[in-house]
Chains A and B, each alone.
Chain A
Amino acid sequence: MSDELRMRAAPETEKAQFEDEALEAIWEIAEEKKEVTLAELNHDLKDEQAILNMVADGLITLRDGKVEFTGEGRRRARDITRRHRLAERLFVDVLALTDFERDACRFEHAISTEVEEAICTLLGHPPTCPHGRPIPRGECCKLYVKKVTPLVVSLTEAEVGGPYRVVFLRGPMIDRLASIGLVAGSDIKVQQKRPSYVLSIDETTIAIEEDVAKGIFVKKHETENGK
Chain B
Amino acid sequence: MMNLLELFGEHPGWYFVAATLVPLFSFVLILLASAMWCATRPFRDTPAGAALFNLFGGEERGRTPAYIATGAIALAFVFSLIGFILFTAQQSQFETEITKHERTLYELRTKAATAQGEDKEKAEESLEAEEHQLEQKEKRWADAREKMWQGHLDWLRIRPAGISDPDNGTVLQLGFKIDSLSALMFVMVTFIATLIHLFSIGYMSDELQPEVEDHQVHTAYGHLQRRGRFGRFFMYLSLFCFSMLNLVLADNLFQVFLSWELVGICSYLLVGFYFERQSASNAANKAFITNRIGDAGFILGLLILWTNLGTFNFDQIFQRVRAPLTDAHGSVNMAGRFVRGEVAQEGSPKFTTQEHGAQILIFPRKPPEHYHALVKNVAQDPKPDQHSWMPYWMLVAAGLGIFLGCVGKSAQFPLQVWLPDAMEGPTPVSALIHAATMVAAGVYLVGRCYPLFTYEALLVIAYTGGITLFVAATIAIVMTDIKKVLAYSTVSQLGYMMLALGVGGWVAGLFHLMTHAFFKALLFLGSGSVIYGCHHEQDMLKMGGLYPKMKITALTMLTGVLAIAGIPLFTGWYSKDAILAQALGFVYVHPQHLFLFLLPLVTAGITAFYMSRLWLMTFTGKPRDEHVYEHAHESPWTMTVPLIALAVCSVCVAWGWPIYDAESSWLESNVHHAQHHAVLADFGNIDYSVSEDHGEYWTVAKKAEENERLYAHHNHHLAGNLALGLVAIGIVFAGLIYWKRVLDPAEAKEQFPGLHAFLMDKWRFDWLYSVIVVRPALVVGHWFAWFDLHVIDGIIHLVARISVLVSKWDGVFDNNVVDGLVNLVGNVTYDVGARLRNVQTGFLRSYVLFLVLAAAGIFMVLAYFVRMATAG
Physical interaction between A and B: no
